[in-house]
Structure formats: structure tokens, C-alpha cells
Chain A
Amino acid sequence: MDNYPALIVIAPLLTAFLAGIAVWIRERLAYPIALTGLAVSIFSAGKVLMQVITSGTIQYRLAGWAPPMGIEYRIDLLNAMVLLLVSSIAFLNLVASYKSVDQEINDRAGSFYTMYLLFVTGLLGVTVTGDLFNLYVLIELTSLTSYAMIALGDRDRAPLASLNYVFIGVIGASFYLLGVGYLYMQTGSLNMADVANILSGIQGSSTVLTAFILMMIGIWIKMAFFPMHVWLPNAYTYSPIGFARVVAPLMTKVMIYVMIRLMITVFGFDYIFKTLNLSDAVVWLGTIAILSGAVMALSQKNLKKMLTYIIVCEIGYMVGGAWLGNQLGMTGAILHILNDALMTFALFLAVGNMAYRLKKLDLTDLQGLFGKMPWTMAGFVLAAFSIIGVPPTCGFFSKWYLILGAFEAGAYHFAGALIISSLLSAVLFFKVFEICFFEPMSKDHGHGESHSQVVIEEAPISMLFVSGLVSLSLIVAGLYSGTIVNTIILPFLK
């Protein structure tokens, strides 16, 4: 019997509790345990992806019960891709975190790793499951762990930011749960495929419409789509960097995956785009999200906070792209899940390296960084180019699909917003580069000698290694984006 689909989720979960015991016996053991768990998870995710590419959708019955009665894992190309993405980013971040967690949360690092594993378990579980209620439980697991870990950051502001996130997050999850209840009322089932089957017979029902709206709003709140984004910047800015690096690229992307999954598998394109005809309104919202995210990012003085607004902006890309209602837009949105996760991760890795040395990340603190941390800055520049959308990097290709999709759908405002936000982020990042390039105005200015020696203070080698690896992967993903689209995304959308 082939148990890889279950192992993806079970390995980190099992090791989380082993680490939880190790905390009390020998705290140093927690880290290697966590690494092992995530390594097994990556391995299984890789196996599953290979299997799905060669032989199609995998179904795995948990507890051995047939689908509508029991819970089922249903892994198709989209799941498998996101699973591999989530597990590898989580693993790489854990490698990079060893030093930074030691620096930030040294007295309870073991518990932090336990929590981290539970968080990753939640994300993987959300991605892999084929059951609507199981999805809710796992969303709550991810949220609960993020509430706790965000609050470990900045002593003054993090608990407040986190409590704010709790309130908004609970509303989001409860809306989703209500939506599931409304669907259950009309269909009597919780399995996604089964619900989709029954729904095709009762499309005109007002209950189904309500369920759809509730679930979408719930997921939008969780992903911080524009009017509901208020919790995200503070929560991510004040969280400890070891956690910010993984939550920023993954949480929002996984929620976008959930949205696409609900749209494609549960409700179906015909229902959303032909029966409801809501797509124009949502694409407009996406347009506003992109523009406002970019403008707000421009007005920030703290690097970390600036990047969080860029996340808000990128969410607009993906939601808008998915709701364009054509294949090109959806391809762009799915490709952008992959690319955006990688580039946000690269950006935050670079920021993590800076934070390791600098303590404060206001833009004015960054002066002279090109001299002080050349490798970190190289990674940062590469990631920034990808966000802007400079050709060899992967950011360009997904944006290209999105713009083509927008033209095909006649949503010129969306295409315009994409281009404007690219320009705005170019302005933004070149502003940062300019600050980093020039030396600080040191007090002994004019003595000449102090200028000639630049002390290189790089981050630890483990952090640099991961940062370099991920930055290079941006180019690799860019070069292979044609392959990714042809082997994974297009067969999935067929």
C-alpha cells in the first residue's frame, strides 16, 4: 500500500510531538527532529508529484473509508505542486532559522520548532485535503499557530497585532464554516467531489449562493485580500523573522490555492462565471488591491512593512487573475502562486540576513549595505527584479500570462494596474538600492581613511546559503516556466 500522500502530513505532525517531548528532556534535540520530519515530508511530496505527473490523480482514503463517508485526500497536479513548494520552503527556512531563532527566542527555541512543525502540518493538510470540514480544522490549526508565533516578535507591538489578527481571523474562519454549513444543508455531504456532483443539480438555489459568498469572504479575509487586509502588515512586520520568512510566502499563497480549489473543484467555472457573473466586480477589487498595495508600500519607512504591503499587492494579482474567467488568467494565477512564493521567500530571506546584523530595519538604517553585506544584497536585488518583473526572472512570466489573460477578457483596467504596479515597485526598490549603495554619513567624515575599509559583516553561512539558493531558483523557475506550464498547469486546467 502506498502511503506517501499521508506521510506528507503525518511526518511533520508526528515529529512535532516528538519535538514537544524533547523540549522537556533535551531541548537541543528538537531542531534535528524538526529537520527530519520536514525532510521526510519533502521526499514524500516529491514522490507524489512524480506519481501524479505520470499516472494522474491520486486518491487516498484515510482510515480506509470510502469518500463521502470518510475523509479523502485527492491529489491532482495543482495540489502536488503546491505541496512540494510548501514543504521545500518550510524545510529551507528551517535550515536558515537555526541561527536567527537562537538570536531572537533563545530560551524557548524548542517550543518554537514544535509550533513551527504544527504550522507547516496545517499548511500541508490544507493543500492536500479533499474534504470541506477537514479544510476548516486545518486552517484553524495554521491560524492558531501563527497567532502564537507572531506574538513572540516585537515585545511592544506584536501581542497587540496578533490579537487583532485573532479577531479578524476568527471572523474569516467562522464565515468559511458557515458557508460549509449552508452547503451541507443543501447537499448533505462534505466531500468536495461529492458536493460538486450534487451542486450541479441545484445551481439556482439562494442557499448555495449564500454559501459561496460566505466561503469566498472567509477565505479572502484569511488571505488578506484588499478591503480585509488590515491585519496583515502589522502582524507580519512585528513577528519574529524566523517565522515571518515562512508565513509571508506561504500563508497567503496557500489560501489562494484554497480559493482556486473551491472555484474549480467545488463550485465549478460554469456556476461562477455563467450563472453568477460576479467576475467583473472581483477583478475590479483586485485592481484596487494592486494599486492601493503598491501605493501604500511606497509610503512606508520600514523595510519589513514595505514588503508586507507588496504581499497585499501580489494577492491582488492572483485573485484578479483567477477571476478573469479565462484559461490564460488562471494559468497566470497558478504560476504566480509558485513564483510569488519563491520571490517573497527570497526577499524575506535577505531581510532576515539584514535583521540578523542590523536589529532595526528602517530604510535609513540600510545605508552602506552593499558594502557590508554584498551577498545578501545580491540575493535581495535578484528577488526585487523578480517582483518588478524583469525578464529572465520568474516574476516576468507569470505577469505576462496575467496581462495576456486580462487583454483576452477585456479587463484593460486590470492590465493597466499590473503595469503601473510594476513601475511603482521598480521605483520602490531602486529607492532602497540607492539608500543601500551609499555609505552612511559617518561622524569622522573627511578623515579619508575610514572610507577605504569597508567591514564585511555577512550573515551566518547557513542563512547565506539558503538565501543564495532561493535567489538562483528564481532564475531557474523563470527559465523552466514553459515546462511548468506545459506539464503541470495546462493538463490540470484541461
Chain B
Amino acid sequence: MRHTLLFVILILLLPVSVAMQDLLPAIPVAQARIQILPVLFCFAMLALPLLPALFFALATALVQGLVLLQIQAGQSELGLTLPIVFFIAWAIVLQMSSEATHGMRWELHAFGSALVTLTLLGGEFLVLCIKRGGFPLDMSVGLRIIVPALVAPFLAPALYFMLRALVPLSPDAGPVAAQPSFKR
């Protein structure tokens, strides 16, 4: 029941996070933009069970793909395939990390948010280099990838504790898996 409530809240927060990150001003360093969507995505992947997490990853990919959609000469530049592959892959990795640490932890959320943001922006840059040609990797481009990734771990705890307060998920973890025992 709690997971259903959390899933609904997170789905509602998806468009809110997109609108919020559009309203936030650019960081003066290299005009980098703050990314909230990867932070929300990371929380959902750690907090939700596998199936709802995969559905949420698909929803995130659709939102991100459509927000960045640009049609050039009747063809979409990125399409939805790449965002779907990206977010589903991260969903599986984060679910495994959540299980390995016996449930979600705020440090894992912060670290995961940074990694998801870094790979998202880096991946977009690489795809654009392949599609448009050229590889203009310099200090300015590097900062525009790294700075939002460095900001993400500072945003993550705020979202983590707000959502944990809103929907308390029993102990700081999920149910701990039964340990194998040789006792009779």
C-alpha cells in the first residue's frame, strides 16, 4: 500500500520536477543547468520494488525524451529509444545496489544521483557528437557536465528526507532478506 502511494506521488512529482528545473536559473559556472529529474529518478529506483521501478523508469524516459525532442527535417534527433535504454539500465543497476545494501540509504541516493546526472549529460553529449559530428570537448563542455553532477548530491538529501517523511517506508531499509543458515 505504501509503495503504491509512493509510486503515485513520484509519478505526480515527475512533471513538477521538470517544470522546477526549467524555472531554476543557470549556475554561473559555464551556464550549467541544475538537474532535478535524475535525483527524483534515483530515489524512485532505490525506494520502489522492481516492477514499479521499471514502470517509473519508462515514465522518466518518456518525459526526458519528449522534453528534449527536436524534430529536424522530419526526423527526431534523439527519439525515445536512447532515453528508455538509459533509464531502464540505471533502474536495474540501482535496484541491485538497493538490494546489496539491504534497502535504500541517503548516501547511496546522493551518490547515485551524481552518477545518473553525470552519465545522462555525458551520454547526451556523446550522442549529439555522433549525430551532429565533431567532438568539441573542452573546459566549458566539461564543466557543463560535471557541475550539475556535483550539485545533485546536495539536492538529493533534501528530496530523500522530504519523501521519507511523506511516505515512511518501514525501517531505513526494505525487508531484510533471510540469511542462509546451516542450523537444524
A and B interact: no
